[in-house]
Amino acid sequence: MNKSSKKAQKNENRFPGFFIVQAWLVLLLASFFGAALAGIQLTLAPKIEANKLNETLEKVPELILGADAARALAESGQAMTIDRQYVTAGSKTYSVFKAGMDNQIAGWVIKAAGQGYADKVELLVGTDTTISTITGLFILDQKETPGLGNKIMEPAWRGQFSGKPIAKPLTAVKTGADADDEINAITGATISSKAVCNIINQSLKNLKQPLADALKNPTSADNQQEKN
Binding mask 116-155 for another protein (x = CB under 8 A): --x-----------------------xxx-xx--x-----
Pick from 10, 47, 216, 227 the residue near another protein by CB under 8 A.
Answer: 47
Judged by CB under 8 A, does residue 22 bind another protein?
yes
Judged by CB under 8 A, does residue 174 bind another protein?
no
Pick from 7, 48, 163, 213 the residue near another protein by CB under 8 A.
Answer: 48
Judged by CB under 8 A, does residue 1 bind another protein?
no
Judged by CB under 8 A, does residue 36 bind another protein?
yes
Judged by CB under 8 A, does residue 21 bind another protein?
no
Pick from 7, 30, 79, 165 the residue near another protein by CB under 8 A.
Answer: 30
Number of C-alpha atoms within 13 angstroms, CB side, residue 190? Answer: 4
Stretch of 44-52, 84-92, 194-202, 215-223 lying at the interface with another protein (CB under 8 A): 44-52
Contact residues toward another protein (CB under 8 A) are: 22-23, 25-26, 29-30, 33, 36-37, 40-41, 44, 47-48, 51, 55, 118, 142-144, 146-147, 150
